Amino acid sequence: MTGKFPNTVINRLTLYHCILVDYIKNNLDTITSSAIAALLKIDDSQVRKDISLLKNTGKSRVGYLVSDLKNSIEKTLGFERPKNAFIVGAGNLGMALANYNNFTDYGLNVVALFDNDKNKIGKKIKDKEICDIAELPSLAEKLHIEMAILTVPMAAAQDMADFLTKSNIKYIWNFSPSVLDVPDGVEVWNENLMGNFLQFSYKIGK
Amino acid sequence: MTGKFPNTVINRLTLYHCILVDYIKNNLDTITSSAIAALLKIDDSQVRKDISLLKNTGKSRVGYLVSDLKNSIEKTLGFERPKNAFIVGAGNLGMALANYNNFTDYGLNVVALFDNDKNKIGKKIKDKEICDIAELPSLAEKLHIEMAILTVPMAAAQDMADFLTKSNIKYIWNFSPSVLDVPDGVEVWNENLMGNFLQFSYKIGK
């Protein structure tokens, strides 16, 4: 489960990756370490040191080849093979995330959504169908899905996490503000978007 | 800019608030400190201590009145008066956030979106119009908007931050993975959703 790079390096590599995705969208072919450093307001030497840890970075006379460096970081971060995931909970947040096309840029492929609301089941968000939650275990097995993006209300989150782990889901990206109990071998990553906003809101004051 | 509670308390209060929003959606009128503690897997005494710092918490024989406790936390976190905000950048993420109805539950009111794409300007997301970015300064002044949710591509983020601060925007919730330079008196709150995912992705491995 633990990689060979420390979290601080991984954090920076993810930021470099974001820059590279942006460069590709803007049809820029090369990038220098100092350009990356300037965007992130860190030291050029730090950027070069991080990149020196990678393989096949496309180093050339005029900087790094954007696509090579991006591929290299993707290999390091382990998403050259896209991860397929279900969104569990087709409420506002689940819908918003299903609408967010950019996930595929980061090796995340949302395959379908799940809900227990009969009025939602069968509808489509972009090209993704909202399926009956009862079908999740069989679909997860059939499609070899190991990751769920959990966007159900907080009160339902633990029960749903139990249901997911029984369905052999191994990775839960948890957008509900719950602290989930999961068995060994299951990884949870918490994302409390509105909690973050409330902290900002408090900082702002009235 | 700094409040009287430490960040750790604010963090927990935001989580309590999320629980209370959930309770209200499920038509539950009262809540006990031990129910909150159980959901968050923290000590009951910690919850009671935090709540004792608040005023008018609706303490009763059977627990706290959900609506009173929620109001009390909202007063403490400073969002009884909703904060109006613009979304700047009507790309995938900006659209997704504009589609996310729940913001209003947390005192955040998205008034309009802005973009420079002529094909998008004039269209509506829910009831929010996508306006020409050139109109932002005058609309911000007219509508007294002080907060922007920044969802432009990374390469455009700093220029846009400069433009926003010149338009008297004081608070930027920055969803682009950029480190923004802003003048004194402007607050930036960074939210790197995909960076978070990439760290999770790395943890997962292949």
Predicted local confidence at residue A29, as pLDDT: 93
Tell me what the pLDDT averaged over chain A comes to.
Answer: 87
| Pairwise CB contact (< 8 Å): B179 & A102 | no
Question: Is residue A102 scored above 80 in pLDDT?
Answer: no
Give the pairing of strands B171-174 and B147-150: parallel
pLDDT of residue A119 exceeding 50 = yes
- Tell me the whole-structure pTM to 2 decimals: 0.73
Are A93 and A151 in contact by the 8 Å Cβ rule? The answer is: yes
Q: Is A192 on the interface with B (CB under 8 A)?
A: yes
Q: Which amino acid is at A138?
A: S
Mean pLDDT of chain B: 87
What residues of chain A lie within 8 A of the CB of B1, using their CB?
A: 203-205
The model's pLDDT over A151-205, given as tens digits with 9 standing for 90+, comes to 998 778 999 999 999 999 999 999 887 788 899 999 998 887 777 787 777 777 6
Residue A41's nearest CA partner among B173, B199, B158, B183 is B158
CB contact (8 A) between residue B200 and residue A177: no
- In this model, does residue A140 exceed pLDDT 90? yes
For the cut 60, the answer to whether the pLDDT of residue B118 exceeds it is: yes
Paired residues of B84 in beta bridges = B109
Q: Which residue of B has its CA nearest to A2?
A: B203
Q: Which of B20, B73, B95, B203 is most worth mutating to test chain A (most A CB atoms within 10 A of its CB)?
A: B203
B115 pLDDT band, cuts 50/70/90, is very high
- Pick the most confident of A19-23, A144-148, B55-59: A144-148
* Percent of all residues in chain A with a pLDDT value above 70, rounded to a whole number: 96
Pairing of strands B124-125, B128-132: antiparallel
pLDDT of residue B148: 96
Minimum mean pLDDT among A189-203, B99-113, B163-177: which range? Answer: A189-203
Percent of chain B exceeding pLDDT 70 equals 96
The Cα A77–Cα A4 span in angstroms is 10
CA of A50 vs chain B CAs: smallest distance (Å): 16
pLDDT at B169: 96
Find, among B191, B197, B155, the residue nearest to B173 by Cα: B191
Pick A7 or B114 by higher pLDDT: B114
How buried is residue B75: exposed, middle or buried, by Cβ count under 10 Å (0-12/13-18/19+)? middle
- E strand or H helix that includes residue B199: helix B193-204
| Length of chain B in terms of residues written | 206
The length of chain A, given as a count of residues: 206
> Does ipTM exceed 0.90?
no
Residues 18-37 of A with CB under 8 A from B: 18-19, 22-23, 25-26
- CB distance from A205 to chain B under 8 Å? yes
pLDDT band for position B101 (cuts 50, 70, 90): low
What gap in Å lies between CA A170 and CA A147, rounded to an integer? 6
Asked if A155 and A180 touch (Cβ cutoff 8 Å), the reply is: no
What's residue A1's pLDDT? Answer: 35
> Which residues pair with residue B173 across a beta bridge?
B149, B189
Cross-chain Cβ contact A95/B99 below 8 Å: yes
**What pLDDT is attached to residue A2?**
41
Secondary structure, 3-state, chain A: CCCCCCHHHHHHHHHHHHHHHHHHHCCCCEECHHHHHHHHCCCHHHHHHHHHCCCCCCEECCEEEHHHHHHHHHHHHCCCCCEEEEEECCCHHHHHHHCCHHHHHHCEEEEEEEECCCCCCCCEECCEEEEEHHHHHHHHHHHCCCEEEECCCHHHHHHHHHHHHHCCCCEEEECCCCCCCCCCCCEEEECCHHHHHHHHHHHHCC
